[in-house]
Chain A
Amino acid sequence: MTVTRGEFRNLLKGLAFLSPWLVGFAAFMLLPIVLSLYYSLCDYNLLQGPAFIGTGNYRGLLNDGVFWRSLRVTMLYAAISVPMGLLVSLGVALLLNVRLRAQPIFRTLIFLPSLVPTIASAILWKWMFNQRLGVINRVLSPLLGWLHLPGPPWLDQSKWVVPSLALMSVWSVGNTVIIYLAGLQDVPRELYEAAELDGANPLQRLLNVTLPMISPVIFFNLIMAIIGILQVFDTPFMMTAGGPNRASYFYTYYLYDNAFTYLKMGYASAMAWIQLLLVLALTGIAFWSSKRWVHYQGK
């Protein structure tokens, strides 16, 4: 293989332009990942340097009830919020895709909540979820009174807190809606016309034209949800402090506490590596399953 002088010059030029990222990748990504793996095999409390203990942290985690509990809490949240988020945002995007004059206004109004900084939405929803004074229960009270039911204890009871947080997360699906909408607008009109000529009703058109055509977008959003879900931290930290009874003590929350409250940096790093492997495994499963349901247009 001979490299011409022009090619070599291009390589140097290319690397020169890439150099900020190359340096940043090495210093703030690769080094931390390697260090994290090393720490996960160490006893490390920041005050003293890391001391190698082999797989001790991982074995500790296997016997740590709080670890398993936090994983279960996170998975429960995922099981509710991911499907709900995908369905709601897809449904809303379908509605927004109908040609109506007022669509730009609808689109903006539905997008706005996703702009709200987490601290503001956390405070706001904490106020709305308040069992006695919150507006949700007060609006529901005539209905609840008629059914002889008490107002739900939203954030105040172990059974309610995770579904409540998942419900709140639906408020800010605007981003996902916009991504779906972009996908929907790319579906060629001829396909619908052809389907209509063949006598397909709207439901058949949805199932046999729209969904297969936007399946890559659904897949993209699913992958994003998988990556994001294990990192949920801000809302439970701000709204419930992990309570009541650790019922909203999410995975990343326990990881954070291990690292910065108990200064068990090695233990936290082991959790971080398990998290990374879980993300990789879940995306792997998603990719594997995608062969069956994601249809890419022949390009």
Chain B
Amino acid sequence: MTGGRAKPLSRLATYAALIVICALAMFPFLWMISTSLKPDWQIVKSPPQWMPEEFAWRNYKLAVSSESTHFPLWTRNTLIIAILAVIGTTFSSAVVAYGFARIRFPGRGALFTLMLSTMMIPFPVTMVPLFSIFVWLGKHTPFQWLGTSKPLWFPAWFGSAFSIFLLRQFFTTIPDELSEAARIDGCSEWGIFWRIILPLSRPALSVVALFTFMWAWRDFLGPLIFLQRPTQYTLSLGLQTFQSQHGSTPWNQLMAASVLVILPVLVLFFIAQKTFIEGIATTGMKG
């Protein structure tokens, strides 16, 4: 347990403990998949069975195409919000992080501390005023804000504290000589950022993009407050209204829908796991 090479007996005990823990962690997933494929009558059967007696793929079809769900539309809405938030957060946070990491100016430290401290502000503190700000914007700009997805992705274009912090940490590890050489060659500050720092930071940028996507995909309170019509709902909000209206009875369909909501996140994780590791490896080699 202390980082060293363990003795055979304690290795065996560790293996046993980890297998039990992993089984507990996987159990809900497996039960979800199993339920999602069972025909209605088998769900209430006692004792519970792992294997569906017939694979009821229609549960998936029903979950996606039922009258009361707009599953494809909700998926589209969620994707649009997530993609706009990802592009906005990644780009703007990189710009700001560059300022914090690679330009020396008076007041930088204080501003950085201020930015970090905003991470402590709970969302409920700002959500009521944000709501009235978007009402006000709706009256004083040509755009409708409330009841559209704008409040959910527009603020992302002004950087997020967490992403700025992460990128700043990465940018500071890039040797200064690279910037100096470019500066001597007459490269502008923006040019250095765009052509030297950004291409070197792909791993960190993908981490930020990935986290932002995951966050936007699962966000619930934001859509609950700012969206109004069921056709605008995100998957989280849509499924919540569906399950609360139906008293959660079609459990197999609900499990099918849950599988579908989790799937993109898992796929993304398994694709990006490589990027994660490559990112860590490249930074390690530089240091």
Contact = CB atoms under 8 A, between A and B. Distances in A.
Are these two chains actual partners, yes or no?
yes
Most buried by B among A96, A189, A238: A238
B87 interface: no
Most buried by B among A184, A234, A273: A234
Contacts of A252: 122, 124
Interface stretch (B51-59, B64-72, B151-159, B198-206): B151-159
Interface in B11-42: 11, 14-15, 17-18, 21-22, 25-26, 28-29, 31-32, 35
Contact of B105 (A14, A119, A171, A231): A14
Contact of A112 (B3, B25, B128): B25
B132 A117 contact: no
B286 interface: no
A80 interface: no
Interface in B225-276: 225, 235-236, 239-240, 243-244, 248, 251, 254-255, 257-259, 261-262, 265-266, 269, 273
A227 interface: yes
B99 A117 contact: no
A125 B126 CA distance: 30
A124 interface: yes
A192 interface: yes
Contacts of A128: 28, 31
A235 B107 CA distance: 41
Contact of B111 (A18, A106, A275, A283): A18
Contact of B240 (A13, A21, A98, A119): A119
A133 B31 CA distance: 13
Contacts, number: 273
Nearest to A234: B220
Most buried by A among B1, B98, B118, B255: B1
Contacts of B175: none
B287 interface: no
Contacts of B140: none
A202 B15 contact: no
Given A7-B106, A18-B99, A28-B155, A202 B1 contact: yes
Interface of A is mostly: helix
B235 A119 contact: yes
Contacts of A154: none
A212 to B, nearest CB: 13
B126 A123 contact: no
Contacts of A7: 105-106
A21 B116 CA distance: 12
A133 B104 CA distance: 63
B285 interface: no
B125 A102 contact: no
B207 interface: no
Interface in A120-139: 120-128, 133, 135, 138-139
A231 B123 contact: yes
Interface in A225-257: 227, 230-231, 233-234, 237-238, 241, 252, 255-256
Contacts of A33: 121, 125-126, 129
B132 A259 contact: no
B281 interface: no
Contacts of B47: 138, 141
Nearest to A184: B3
B46 A21 contact: no
B122 A276 contact: yes
A31 B129 contact: yes
Contacts of A23: 158
B122 A275 contact: yes
Contacts of A11: 105-107
Contacts of A273: 125
A118 B25 CA distance: 16
B2 A24 contact: no
Given A98-B1, A127-B251, A227-B122, A13 B155 contact: no
Contacts of B145: none
18 contacts: A11-B106, A14-B99, A17-B99, A17-B193, A18-B99, A21-B159, A39-B128, A95-B18, A106-B21, A106-B22, A109-B25, A115-B265, A231-B123, A252-B124, A265-B128, A272-B124, A276-B122, A276-B125
